[in-house]
Amino acid sequence: MNKRYAIFDMDGTLIDSMRYWKNLGREYLALHGITENLDEIMERIKPMTMTESAELFRIEFHFTGTKEGIAAEMNQMMDEHYRKDIPLKGGVEAYIKKLHELGVKMCVASATDVELMQACLERLGIKKYFTFLLSCEEVGVGKRKPDVYFEALKRLQEKEVILPENIAVYEDADYAIYTALDAGFYTIAVLDDSNKKNWEQLKAQTMESIEDWYCAVQSL
Q: Based on the domain organization, do 39 and 129 belong to the same domain?
A: no
Instruction: Give residue 117's domain range.
Output: 5-16+88-219
Which of the residue ranges 54-63, 136-145, 146-155, 184-193 would you say has the lowest mean pLDDT?
Answer: 184-193
C-alpha pair distances (Å), 45 with each of 39, 53, 65: 10, 6, 19
Among 38, 68, 84, residue at a domain's last position: 84
pLDDT digit string, tens, across residues 158-207: 778 899 999 999 999 888 999 999 999 999 988 887 677 777 777 667 77
Q: Where are the beta strands (DSSP E) in the chain?
A: 5-8, 105-110, 133-135, 167-171, 186-190, 205-207
Count CB atoms within 10 A of the CB of residue 79: 15
Nearest 5°: the CA angle 68, 12, 179 is 75
Residues in the chain: 220
Q: How confident is the model at residue 157 (pLDDT cuts 50, 70, 90)?
A: very high
Q: Based on the domain organization, do 69 and 97 belong to the same domain?
A: no
Q: Based on the domain organization, do 129 and 70 belong to the same domain?
A: no
Give the Cα separation of 142 and 162 in Å (integer): 23
Strand 205-207's sheet: what is its strand order? 133-135, 105-110, 5-8, 167-171, 186-190, 205-207
pLDDT at 219: 65
Q: Do residues 202 and 192 touch, judged by C-beta distance below 8 A?
A: no
pLDDT at 93: 93
The domain that holds 213 is classified in CATH as 3.40.50.1000
Q: Based on the domain organization, do 121 and 195 belong to the same domain?
A: yes
Q: Do residues 206 and 191 touch, judged by C-beta distance below 8 A?
A: yes
pTM of the model: 0.81
Among 69, 84, 99, residue at a domain's last position: 84
For the chain, counts of helices (H) and of strands (E): 10, 6
Give the Cα separation of 181 and 171 in Å (integer): 11
Is the pLDDT reported for residue 28 higher than 80? yes
Give the Cα separation of 55 and 33 in Å (integer): 18
Q: Based on the domain organization, do 11 and 30 belong to the same domain?
A: no
Q: Based on the domain organization, do 138 and 190 belong to the same domain?
A: yes
Average pLDDT over residues 15-43: 90
pLDDT digit string, tens, across residues 42-101: 989 988 888 899 999 999 999 998 999 999 999 888 888 899 999 999 889 999 999 999
pLDDT at 100: 94
Backbone φ, ψ for residue 131 (5° rounding): -65, -40
